[in-house]
């Protein structure tokens, strides 16, 4: 009997708590696969009072008996990955079951420089990237100039590929060096008496062919025990009747094709991308779990119809500790947007929803949910508008529901929740057209409510 593939995706603009959901469902799975994105994502898991933050390693790594894989659709900064590996080892976490796709692409030092330079150049029009080199890396992948994990294992090939990738970037990188020199001059560096001009004008080692090759060959030696054909490993698990979780980063509304372009990520975080990013077929996916907060947040620029710039917004920010795992930036906060959520449900064809951070709403007298948009010209939109000009100026129209005062962090069953909280969840499920299976009532792993009981094997 074939196994079950379960895809877990964000249903909003990211930061919904997917890591915790993956960690919970991984208990009854045999393998966990991260299928896209890079270290511009961050998952936080609290287990037994101890906090773990992941950027590249799948959230299931805390189970020593689970196979954890980084799929070919991920772009990988080996320095960041090795930092995660070393940090987890120091905390006693077993990394023996970590596997990295040989076909995953590598974020190179020049990608980070180009990402930063691009954002600075855009100024007020910047997209708000994390400046981790994600976009330039995916661009090189599409241009067939990418460096892959398997290239780390052959230094001659590695050197040739780095040389080929660097060549078309020389003009852009020269401009960057000119900017750096100009900034140094304005700051007075190199102009002081006795200053070492040769050092000031020395080539940036991050742009030097020999330095990069030597550095990345060293990463290859350390990562070699983990490098594998992860697609084949997925097939073996599924063909043996096992359950495999496919973990997405970011979220639906940040999807490169279907999100709020251009204020999106550089990959496809939707469920369909699990096939490409992990190397499986569409019929290998049996379930799709979407994760949404009980309210909405967004990091960086871009449209956010339900954003709040008032006391309620501050309540959500502070009570929800809404600061980015990767960047530390304050997240923009607002009411639950059901128009956008229903769009995400259909786009991913979700079979279940998880609502996280319901406890953050405790103490609010009235809860609001956006059920439609009104354009600047007064047109009503019951569905997510495809035209960006409409979305940028859209005003949400709300339905109001009664709030609740009780602290719900100790609730462990649906019956424990206040009637108002249950009514809020029911409204979301009915509007979105998909059942809610799991509710987060606190940051801890055990602070959850299973709707209909814990399903065990999902």
Q: Which residues are catalytic?
A: 15, 43
Token pair listed for 49: 């009072």
Comparing C-alpha atoms, which of 368, 166, 347 is closest to residue 251?
347
Q: Is the dihedral of CA 355, 361, 367, 369 positive or negative?
A: negative
Q: What are phi and psi of 73, to 5 degrees?
A: -80, -5
Comparing C-alpha atoms, which of 216, 205, 265, 36 is closest to residue 108?
216
Q: Is the peptide bond before 262 cis (omega within 30 degrees of 0)?
A: yes
CA 106 to CA 162: how far, in whole Å?
11
104 alpha-carbon distance from chain centroid = 17
Comparing C-alpha atoms, which of 361, 352, 376, 360 is closest to residue 452?
352
Strand segments, DSSP code E, in 48-97 are 50-54, 67-70, 75-76
Q: What are phi and psi of 340, to 5 degrees?
A: -65, -40
Token pair listed for 399: 């339905």
Residue 452: other Cβ atoms inside 10 A: 10
Q: What are phi and psi of 251, to 5 degrees?
A: -165, 175
Q: What are phi and psi of 303, to 5 degrees?
A: -65, 145
CA 313 to CA 278: how far, in whole Å?
38
Token pair listed for 425: 């969840």
CA 34 to CA 248: how far, in whole Å?
6
Residues 32 and 74: beta-carbon distance below 8 Å = no
Residue with tokens 């919904």: 16
């Amino acid at each position: 009997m074939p196994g079950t593939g379960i895809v877990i995706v964000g249903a909003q603009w990211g930061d919904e708590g997917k890591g915790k959901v993956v960690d919970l469902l991984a208990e009854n799975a045999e393998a966990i696969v991260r299928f896209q994105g890079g270290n511009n994502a961050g998952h936080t898991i609290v287990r037994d009072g101890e906090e773990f933050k992941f950027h590249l390693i799948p959230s299931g790594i805390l189970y020593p008996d689970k196979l954890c894989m980084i799929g070919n659709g991920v772009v990988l900064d080996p320095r960041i990955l090795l930092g995660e590996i070393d940090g987890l080892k120091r905390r006693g976490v077993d990394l023996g079951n970590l596997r990295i796709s040989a076909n995953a692409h590598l974020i190179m030092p020049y990608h980070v420089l180009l990402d930063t330079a691009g954002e600075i150049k855009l100024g007020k029009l910047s997209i708000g990237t994390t400046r981790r080199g994600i976009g330039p890396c995916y661009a090189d992948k599409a241009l067939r100039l990418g460096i892959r994990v398997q290239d780390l294992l052959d230094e001659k090939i590695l050197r040739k590929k780095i040389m080929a990738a660097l060549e078309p970037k020389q003009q852009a990188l020269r401009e960057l060096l000119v900017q750096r020199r100009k900034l140094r001059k304005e700051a007075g560096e190199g102009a002081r008496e006795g200053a070492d001009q040769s050092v000031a004008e020395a080539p940036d080692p991050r742009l030097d062919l020999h330095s990069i090759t030597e550095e990345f060959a060293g990463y290859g030696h350390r990562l070699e025990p983990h490098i594998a054909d992860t697609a084949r490993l997925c097939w073996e698990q599924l063909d043996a009747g096992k359950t495999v979780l496919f973990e997405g980063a970011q979220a639906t509304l940040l999807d490169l094709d279907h999100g709020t372009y251009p204020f999106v990520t550089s990959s496809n975080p939707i469920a369909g991308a699990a096939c490409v990013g992990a190397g499986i077929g569409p019929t290998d996916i049996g379930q799709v779990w979407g994760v949404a907060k009980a309210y909405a947040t967004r990091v960086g620029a871009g449209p956010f119809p339900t954003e709040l710039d008032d006391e309620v917004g501050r309540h959500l920010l502070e009570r929800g500790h809404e600061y980015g795992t990767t960047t530390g930036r304050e997240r923009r906060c607002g009411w639950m947007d059901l128009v956008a959520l229903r769009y995400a449900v259909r786009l991913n064809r979700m079979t279940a929803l998880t609502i996280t951070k319901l406890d953050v709403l405790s103490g609010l007298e009235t809860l609001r949910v956006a059920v439609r948009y009104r354009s600047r010209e007064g047109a009503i939109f019951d569905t997510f508008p495809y035209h960006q000009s409409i979305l940028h100026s859209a005003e949400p129209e709300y339905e109001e529901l009664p709030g609740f005062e009780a602290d719900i962090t100790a609730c462990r069953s649906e019956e424990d929740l206040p009637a108002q909280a249950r009514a809020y969840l029911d409204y979301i499920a009915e509007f979105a057209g998909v059942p809610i299976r799991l509710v987060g009532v606190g940051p801890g792993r055990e602070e959850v409510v299973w709707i209909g009981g814990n399903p065990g094997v999902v």
